[in-house]
Amino acid sequence: MQVEKISALFDAAERIAVLSGAGLSKASGIPTYRDNGGLWTQEGIIRFSSAAELKKNPEGFRDFWAARQSEIKVAQANPGHFALARLQLLRPAVTLMTQNVDGLLMKAEATGVLELHGSLLRDRCGSCRAVFPSLDEASLAQGSRCPSCGAATVRPDVVLFGENLDARISNAAKQAAKSSEVFLLVGTSAVVYPAADLAKLAVAQGAKLVIINLEPTPLDHLAAAVIHGRTEDTLPRIIELMTSEAGIVRLPSEPHRQLPSADAAQPSVLASLSRWLSRRN
């Protein structure tokens, strides 16, 4: 089976690179982007992913992202996040990279995560470039001022369409991909560039590609192992197999909490965004 194959690939590798996408956080109630019912498929919403909209409609931009930040702050890590954090305990060199902006890998106590697209848990000033923990929804909606310089140019610390990735983080991700023996794509459609290039870069350097995603991806044909399934189900099975074969009785586990199912939680987030958008229109 593919679970056993992936476990064996992880066991044999010293350097593992992981790139995660929106599918990893779906079970935490965070909407995905491009699949059926995803965030960017909702009419009138995708414009707020653009740097051009920030310049054209700063008030609407702030309102939209303030609502998103409120949802992110209360979201909890799911078993997929905790499985990746455990992988870092099991193997000597695991680099976690993510396209997600929800900070949930860190909530699962993963370390050294490269946040390629930034984080909604942080804000930054468009004037002095200071970065600080995100302000509350009411403050952002009122155009709250930067605590460092006082400018009313506070925005989420995320990378929008039309903006470049942080060069330091991008270079670290490329280095991790090039030096990896196994490269795991998890919960991502592998269509957003330049992040999607990382898997190709790893394969070109001889890494084994592993893909775990609910839907097929354009890179499936390059992979040594592919599982089309829920990341919150598949990743824990792989880690459990690795720990049992290594004779490890117990690893630190996630807190026992009742998480909403992906199917139940995601519509609530989308519904709140839809209500917000209807008020704007």
Least confident of 89-98, 205-214, 256-265: 256-265
Q: Which letter, b or e, does each residue of 79-108 get, where b requires 16 or more Cβ atoms within 10 Å of its Cβ?
A: bbbbbbbbbbebbeebbbbbbbbbbbbbbb
Which of the pair, 73 or 39, is modelled with greater confidence? 73
Annotated catalytic residue within 81, 117, 228, 256: 117
194 preceded by cis ω (within 30°)? yes
CA angle 198, 75, 55 (to 5 degrees): 65
Task: DSSP letter for 161, please.
Answer: B
- pLDDT at position 259, please? 39
- Full-model pTM: 0.82
Confidence of residue 2 (pLDDT cuts 50, 70, 90): very high
Cross-strand pairs, 171: none
- pLDDT at position 32, please? 72
Which residue has 């792989």 as its token pair? 238
Distance CA 73, CA 182 (A): 32
- pLDDT at position 234, please? 97
pLDDT at residue 68 tops 70: yes
117 is catalytic: yes
Per-residue pLDDT reduced to its tens digit, 122-154: 999 989 999 988 876 555 555 568 888 888 888
Separation in Å, CA 234 to CA 4, 65, 121: 11, 31, 27
